[in-house]
Structure 1
Amino acid sequence: MRLSWNEIRIRAAQFAQDWKDAGYEKGETQSFYNDFFDIFDVKRRTVARYEEHVQRLDNSRGFIDLFWPGVLLVEQKSAGINLAAARKQAGTYFDALPERDRPRYQLLCDFQTFELLDRDEREEVSFALADLPKHVEKFGFILGVQKRTFRDQDPVNIEASERVGQLHDALAASGYTGHDLEQFLVRIVFCLFADDTGIFEPRDIFFDFLENRTQKDGSDLGGWLAQLFQILNTPEDRRPTTLDEDLNRFPYINGDLFRDPLLIPSFNSEMRQRLIDACTFDWSSISPAIFGSLFQSVMDKDERRARGAHYTTEKNILKVIEPLFLDALRAEFLHLKSRRDSRRIPEMIAFQQRLGELRFFDPACGCGNFLIIAYRELRTLEIEVLKEIRPRGQLDALAELLSVVDVDQFYGIELGEFPAHIAEVALWMMDHLMNNRLSLEFGQTYARIPLEKSPHIWHGDALEIDWNELLPAVECSYLLGNPPFVGANFRSPEQREQVRRIAALGKSGDTLDYVTAWFIKAGEYVEHSKAQIGFVATNSITQGEQVAQLWPILFDRCKLDIAFAHRTFAWGSDARGMAQVHV
Structure 2
Amino acid sequence: MNAVEIEEAVSQLVSQPFDPDEFPFAFLEAYGNKETTVKRLRKGNSNKSKMEGGVLQRNNIHIATCEPGAVADTLRQLQEARETAKNKAKFVLATDGEELQAENLNSGETLACAYPDFHQHFTFFFELAGISTVKEIRESSFDIKATGRLNKLYMELLRANPDWATPERKQDMNHFMARLIFCFFAEDTSIFAGDNLFTGTVEQMSAPDASNMHEIIGELFRAMDVKTEEREAQGIRTWARKFPYVNGELFSGATDCPRFTKIARSYLLHVGRLDWQQINPDIFGSMIQAVADEDERGSLGMHYTSVPNILKVLNPLFLDELREQLEEAGDNPRKLLNLRKRIARIRVFDPACGSGNFLVIAYKQLREIEHEINLRRGEPDRPTEIPLTNFRGIEIKGFSAEIARLALIIAEYQCDVLYLGQQLALAEFLPLDAENWITCGNALRLNWLTVCPPTGTGVELGGDDLFSALQQQANIDFENEGGETFICGNPPYLGSTWQSKEQKSDLKEIFAKYTKSWKSLDYVAGWFMKAAEYGTHTNASAAFVSTNSICQGQQVPILWPLIFKKEYEISFAHTSFKWANLASYNAGVTVVIVGISSQPNKVRRLFSLDEQNETIEKKAENINAYLTPSENVIVQKISKPMSEVYEMRFGNKPVDGGNLLLSKDDLSSLNFNNIQQKKFIRRIYGSAEFIRGLSRYVLWIKDDHLEEASMIPPISKRIEAVKEMRLASRDKSANKMAERAHQMREMNISEVWTIVVPRTSSERRRFLPTGLIGNYATVTSETFALFDAPLWNLALIASKLHLVWIATVCGKLKTDYRYSNTLGWNTFPVPQLTTKNKEDLTRCAEDILLARERHFPATIAELYDPEKMPEDLRHAHERNDEVLERIYIGRRFKNDTERLEKLFELYTEMTAKKSDRS
How does the TM-score come out when normalised to structure 2?
A: 0.45
User: Counterpart of 2:152?
Assistant: 166
1:481-560 equivalent positions in 2, closer than 5 A: 481-504=489-512, 505-555=514-564, 557-560=565-568
In structure 1, how many angstroms separate the alpha carbons of the residues matched to 2:423 and 2:173? 40
CA pair 541-93 structure 1, distance change in 2 beyond 3 A? closer
Q: Deviations over 1:206-243 (max 9, x none)?
A: 12222322222211211110000011111111111875
Shift of 1:162: 1.9
Q: Check whether the contact 2:496–2:523 (CA below 8 A) recurs between aligned residues.
A: yes
Shift of 1:99: 4.0
1:5-404 equivalent positions in 2, closer than 5 A: 58=68, 95-99=114-118, 151-153=136-138, 154-174=140-160, 175=162, 176-177=164-165, 178-240=170-232, 243-289=236-282, 290-301=284-295, 312-337=305-330, 339=331, 344-390=332-378, 399=381, 402-404=383-385
Q: Check whether the contact 2:313–2:543 (CA below 8 A) recurs between aligned residues.
A: yes
Shift of 1:472: 2.2
In structure 1, how many angstroms separate the alpha carbons of the residues matched to 2:174 and 2:148? 16
Shift of 1:198: 2.2
For residue 277 of structure 1, give the secondary structure of its aligned residue in structure 2: helix
Q: Deviations over 1:135-188 (max 9, x none)?
A: xxxxxxxxxxxxxxx924533222222221221111111123212211111111
CA pair 418-444 structure 1, distance change in 2 beyond 3 A? closer
For residue 155 of structure 2, give the secondary structure of its aligned residue in structure 1: helix
Q: Check whether the contact 1:158–1:574 (CA below 8 A) recurs between aligned residues.
A: no
Shift of 1:519: 0.4
Shift of 1:480: 0.7
Q: Check whether the contact 1:157–1:286 (CA below 8 A) recurs between aligned residues.
A: yes
Shift of 1:329: 0.7
For residue 378 of structure 1, give the secondary structure of its aligned residue in structure 2: helix
In structure 2, how many angstroms separate the alpha carbons of the residues matched to 1:282 and 1:166? 18
In structure 2, how many angstroms separate the alpha carbons of the residues matched to 1:576 and 1:166? 26
In structure 1, how many angstroms separate the alpha carbons of the residues matched to 2:295 and 2:400? 16
Shift of 1:97: 3.5
- Structure showing greater radius of gyration is 2
In structure 1, how many angstroms separate the alpha carbons of the residues matched to 2:119 and 2:205? 24
Q: Check whether the contact 2:154–2:291 (CA below 8 A) recurs between aligned residues.
A: no
Q: Deviations over 1:242-265 (max 9, x none)?
A: 754542221111100000104311
In structure 2, how many angstroms separate the alpha carbons of the residues matched to 1:500 and 1:294? 33
In structure 2, how many angstroms separate the alpha carbons of the residues matched to 1:266 and 1:188? 14
Shift of 1:94: 5.6
- Which stretch of the first structure deviates more once superposed, 259-268 or 234-243? 234-243
Q: Check whether the contact 1:161–1:297 (CA below 8 A) recurs between aligned residues.
A: yes
Shift of 1:500: 2.5
Shift of 1:577: 9.3
Shift of 1:529: 2.2
In structure 2, how many angstroms separate the alpha carbons of the residues matched to 1:219 and 1:206? 18
Q: Check whether the contact 1:482–1:535 (CA below 8 A) recurs between aligned residues.
A: yes
In structure 1, how many angstroms separate the alpha carbons of the residues matched to 2:582 and 2:243? 32
CA pair 442-428 structure 1, distance change in 2 beyond 3 A? closer
Shift of 1:405: 0.7
CA pair 218-197 structure 1, distance change in 2 beyond 3 A? same
For residue 401 of structure 2, give the secondary structure of its aligned residue in structure 1: helix
Stretches of structure 2 that go unaligned for 5 or more consecutive residues are 1-65, 71-98, 102-110, 122-134, 458-482, 592-918
Q: Deviations over 1:353-398 (max 9, x none)?
A: 2211111111111111111111111112111111111255xxxxxx
Q: Which has the higher contact order (CA 8 A, sep 6+)?
A: 1
User: Counterpart of 1:416?
Assistant: 397
User: Counterpart of 1:406?
Assistant: 387
For residue 249 of structure 1, give the secondary structure of its aligned residue in structure 2: coil
In structure 2, how many angstroms separate the alpha carbons of the residues matched to 1:213 and 1:441? 30
CA pair 415-311 structure 1, distance change in 2 beyond 3 A? farther
User: Counterpart of 1:449?
Assistant: 430
Shift of 1:582: 2.1
In structure 2, how many angstroms separate the alpha carbons of the residues matched to 1:515 and 1:304? 25
Shift of 1:545: 1.0
In structure 1, how many angstroms separate the alpha carbons of the residues matched to 2:211 and 2:585? 35
In structure 2, how many angstroms separate the alpha carbons of the residues matched to 1:405 and 1:454? 15
For residue 510 of structure 1, give the secondary structure of its aligned residue in structure 2: helix
For residue 522 of structure 1, give the secondary structure of its aligned residue in structure 2: helix
In structure 2, how many angstroms separate the alpha carbons of the residues matched to 1:445 and 1:404? 17
Q: Deviations over 1:517-536 (max 9, x none)?
A: 11011011113422110111
CA pair 100-196 structure 1, distance change in 2 beyond 3 A? farther
Q: Tell me the number of residue pairs that the alignment of Structure 1 and Structure 2 aligns.
A: 438
User: Counterpart of 1:22?
Assistant: none
In structure 1, how many angstroms separate the alpha carbons of the residues matched to 2:585 and 2:256? 32
User: Counterpart of 2:441?
Assistant: 460
Shift of 1:303: 9.4
Shift of 1:283: 1.5
Q: Check whether the contact 1:408–1:453 (CA below 8 A) recurs between aligned residues.
A: no
Stretches of structure 1 that go unaligned for 5 or more consecutive residues are 1-55, 61-88, 103-149, 393-398
CA pair 253-578 structure 1, distance change in 2 beyond 3 A? farther
Q: In the alignment, does 2:578 pair up with 1:570? A: yes
Q: Which amino acid is the alignment partner of residue 191 of structure 1?
A: C
Give % identity.
Answer: 32
Shift of 1:576: 11
Q: Deviations over 1:514-571 (max 9, x none)?
A: 110110110111134221101111112122211121111112x222211221122222
In structure 1, how many angstroms separate the alpha carbons of the residues matched to 2:338 and 2:524? 38
In structure 2, how many angstroms separate the alpha carbons of the residues matched to 1:329 and 1:168? 42
Q: Which amino acid is the alignment partner of residue 561 of structure 1?
A: E
CA pair 570-198 structure 1, distance change in 2 beyond 3 A? farther
In structure 1, how many angstroms separate the alpha carbons of the residues matched to 2:189 and 2:402? 20
Q: Check whether the contact 2:211–2:260 (CA below 8 A) recurs between aligned residues.
A: yes
CA pair 304-466 structure 1, distance change in 2 beyond 3 A? farther
In structure 2, how many angstroms separate the alpha carbons of the residues matched to 1:433 and 1:57? 44
Q: Check whether the contact 1:186–1:421 (CA below 8 A) recurs between aligned residues.
A: yes
RMSD: 3.3
Q: Check whether the contact 1:310–1:579 (CA below 8 A) recurs between aligned residues.
A: no
Q: Check whether the contact 1:364–1:482 (CA below 8 A) recurs between aligned residues.
A: yes
Shift of 1:481: 0.8
CA pair 577-366 structure 1, distance change in 2 beyond 3 A? farther
CA pair 568-93 structure 1, distance change in 2 beyond 3 A? closer
CA pair 246-155 structure 1, distance change in 2 beyond 3 A? same
Q: Which amino acid is the alignment partner of residue 202 of structure 1?
A: G
Shift of 1:485: 1.6
Q: Check whether the contact 1:222–1:267 (CA below 8 A) recurs between aligned residues.
A: yes
Match of 2:410 among 404, 424, 429: 429
In structure 1, how many angstroms separate the alpha carbons of the residues matched to 2:428 and 2:416? 6
